[in-house]
Each structure stands twice: as structure tokens, then as C-alpha cells.
Amino acid sequence: MSEDSDPTSVLSLLDDEHARSILAAASTEPMSASQLSEACDASTATVYRRIDDLTDHELLEESINVRSDGNHHRVYRATFRRFTLELEDGEFTTEVECESEDVADRFTRMWEGL
């Protein structure tokens, strides 16, 4: 998660039904915005707004799906894994756990897609 991300804004984003749907769908496989729109039964405009928010908070990762026919397109993969909220000694603490794909894994996935 971005160091600039406020846990309250992440929690607010996770409260959004469309954002949760996008994360759930993109956790199974990388998907394009149109695939996410169909999978989440949401308009493309709604999906793009949530994609912007989710990528800003580094809960969703964007990459380019390179195809041999030259029709490359952006796909999105969920990096969000866990949000923890704890109360101890009168104080709340939060932790957002995300997983990012390293460059080698991304290159392998891209190469296998050719």
C-alpha cells in the first residue's frame, strides 16, 4: 500500500460494493476493464472510476496484456490481501496487506501469453 494512503480512505473504499466486486473478480485472474464491467455487472464508467481509486491505493495493479496479434490492452490484478483493524489499550491500529507481483513473475506471465 502506498505510504500516502490513509487507512480510513482504504476502509471507505472497501466499503464500496463495486470496489469489492472488482477486487474479488481481479483476484482470480488479471482482467480488462470491460471484463470487470461484465463480471461485476457495473457500467464501464463506474469500473474505471473504481480502478483509478484502487490503483491509487495500490490495491489493484495495472499491466499490459501483450498479444501476438498486436491488440495489446490493459489488465488489472488485485494485490489486496487483508485489512486488519485492532483495538488495544484504547488505540486502533490498522494494517493493509498487499502482494505485488515481482518483475520476473510479470515477465514470465507476459512471455507465456505470447
- Distance between CA atoms of residues 54 and 51, nearest Å: 5
pLDDT score at 105: 61
In this predicted model, what pLDDT tens digit does every residue of 25-79 receive, in sequence order? Answer: 999 999 999 999 999 999 999 999 999 999 999 899 998 887 778 788 899 999 9
- pTM metric for this prediction: 0.75
1: DSSP letter? -
In this predicted model, what pLDDT tens digit does every residue of 5-22 receive, in sequence order? Answer: 677 888 899 999 999 999
Q: Compare 66 and 106 and report the one with higher pLDDT.
A: 66
- Distance between CA atoms of residues 105 and 30, nearest Å: 13
| HSE of 17, CA atoms in CB hemisphere, 13 A | 3
**Given CA atoms 39, 42, 46, 50 in this order, what sign does their dihedral have?**
negative
